[in-house]
Structure 1
Amino acid sequence: MAPSATVEHRALDGVAYHLGGALDLTRPATSVVEVVAEGRLHEFTSGPLGLADAVAGSLGITAFDSELAFQGGTLRTVTTSEFDPQAQQVESPTLVVWQGRRHSLVTRLYRAALTDVLLLLRTLGLAEHPDGVTLTPDQEAGTRWARPATVVKEVPGLGLVEMSRRTREHGAQLPPWQGASVAAGELFRDSLSDGRPFFVLNGDRVWATIVPLADTAIDRVPGLVDGLDLRVEE
């Protein structure tokens, strides 16, 4: 058991998730959010500084088409050519990466020139904070949230934890049985389609799913969650 510690991760929609307890909370976290801009859906992912390089590397990208200073960081773009077997056509996605002092932001846009990338980002209010990157869509410019952002964090011994702001839609997804009472709310156990167990934490302001990993002792999860100090600040 790790010594008690406290960390904070800020989601792309500005919600800060505070986690504390006797667990290893040192792993980095990522945040994912979907934004609607002029009727089109775009997904953005933020994380530690190396996230941008890791995504580019996974796509086999070693060089970018453009690089410029933007919003206190460095913005890079590269357009590649890919064959989409489902659509049976060649696509030309543009990888967009922004790196600040400690964090980065990644998205892929289709049929987008550099001017389109800049126009979109300027309507999203990109800003870096000590605990993460935030976006602030400008509704007057035609951008808005599609749904609350999530924060995903691996916690050794517990599993993969995905957190978001609780919504009415989440309440409709709760299992029909009563969950176990824990410090942050009510904990439910359910099964994935392949039979593997997972857990849902339903709190007053936070909704979290916990997927056990190889090092997770399933029977210990309720106790570990009960000892987890999980709070949100909007």
Structure 2
Amino acid sequence: MASAATVDHRALDGVAYRLTSDLDLGLPSTSVADVTVDGHLVEFTAGPAALGDDIAQTHGISAFDTELSFRGGTVRTATQRVYDPQTKQVERPTLVVWRGAHHSLVTRLYRVTTRDVLGMLRTLRLTERADGLTLDPDRAAGSGFARPASVIKEVPGLGLLEMTEPTRETTAQLPPWKGLAVRGGELYRDTLSDGRPFFVLSARTVWATVVPLAHTTVEEVPGLVRRLDLSRAE
């Protein structure tokens, strides 16, 4: 059996999660946060520096329209013309990417100008840390987290692991049956609306879901989770 390794991943709201396991923890993570900015809900995704380029490619964007220096990094925007066959309307979403030395922040906005984008980002203090990018919304300017941010990480063999702080809303979603005892908590198996299985790990300081991927053997998930020590990092 391989020796155990420890990695820390920090969410956009500043909470850091520590994983220790002999499983492969080498893949990078992303963090997702819903932030209220001037009364509007905006979803941000943070990850490695190349994340913005990767997301641009998935949307068929080969070049950005603007590129500006901002807060120790670079802000790039690209506006597309997208036709929605269901609504029969044309939308013009703008992909916004802030890229720093080691991390990037990505969001997609509608009906905004470059001035709007910079005004929004000015209400969010961006800080690059060794274990991730954090946001510090300016409450006086009307910005704030709508809910705890999450960290999403693929663990080969196990699947997609999503970690967040436990809340009343999440703990209320626990199944009525008793879970399987694992390190620091209980593991529950449930089913998604499309019939696919998933797992919930309920611990004192961490709430996590495990979604099996194509390479995952579902029956092996409980045993793999028992090899994973998950906690909040101080």
Same fold, TM-score > 0.5, yes or no: yes
Cα separation, 2, equivalents of 1:233 and 1:140: 29
Q: State the Cα distance separating 1:46 from its structure 2 match.
A: 0.7
Structure-2 residue corresponding to 1:220: 220
Q: How does 1:48-127 map to 2 (within 5 A)?
A: 48-127=48-127
Q: Which runs of 5+ in 2 are unaligned?
A: none
Q: How does 1:128-167 map to 2 (within 5 A)?
A: 128-167=128-167
Q: How many residues get paired?
A: 234
Q: State the Cα distance separating 1:92 from its structure 2 match.
A: 1.4
Structure-2 residue corresponding to 1:33: 33
Cα separation, 2, equivalents of 1:115 and 1:3: 51
Cα separation, 2, equivalents of 1:2 and 1:101: 32
Over the residues paired in the alignment, what is the CA RMSD in angstroms? 1.4
SS at match of 2:207: strand
Instruction: Indicate conservation of the 8 Å contact 1:4/1:22, yes or no.
Output: yes
Structure-2 residue corresponding to 1:189: 189
- The 4+ residue runs of structure 1 with deviation greater than 3 A are none
TM-score by length of 2: 0.95
Cα separation, 2, equivalents of 1:142 and 1:16: 25
Opposite residue 148 of structure 1, the aligned amino acid is P
Residues 9-65 of structure 1, C-alpha deviations (whole Å, 9 max, x = no match)? 111111111111110000111111111112111110011111110111111111112
Q: Which runs of 5+ in 1 are unaligned?
A: none
Residues 104-151 of structure 1, C-alpha deviations (whole Å, 9 max, x = no match)? 111011111111111111101111111111111111101111111111
Percent identity reads 62
Cα separation, 1, equivalents of 2:37 and 2:200: 31
Q: State the Cα distance separating 1:176 from its structure 2 match.
A: 0.5
SS at match of 2:52: helix
SS at match of 2:45: strand
Residues 61-107 of structure 1, C-alpha deviations (whole Å, 9 max, x = no match)? 11112111111111111222112334332111111111111111110
Structure-1 residue corresponding to 2:171: 171
Structure-2 residue corresponding to 1:207: 207
SS at match of 1:52: helix
Cα separation, 1, equivalents of 2:113 and 2:52: 19
Instruction: Indicate conservation of the 8 Å contact 2:8/2:233, yes or no.
Output: no
Structure-2 residue corresponding to 1:23: 23
Instruction: Indicate conservation of the 8 Å contact 1:71/1:127, yes or no.
Output: no
Opposite residue 116 of structure 2, the aligned amino acid is D
Residues 163-202 of structure 1, C-alpha deviations (whole Å, 9 max, x = no match)? 1111110111000100011113111011122322211001
Cα separation, 2, equivalents of 1:16 and 1:141: 26
Instruction: Indicate conservation of the 8 Å contact 1:2/1:24, yes or no.
Output: no
SS at match of 1:61: coil
Opposite residue 45 of structure 2, the aligned amino acid is T
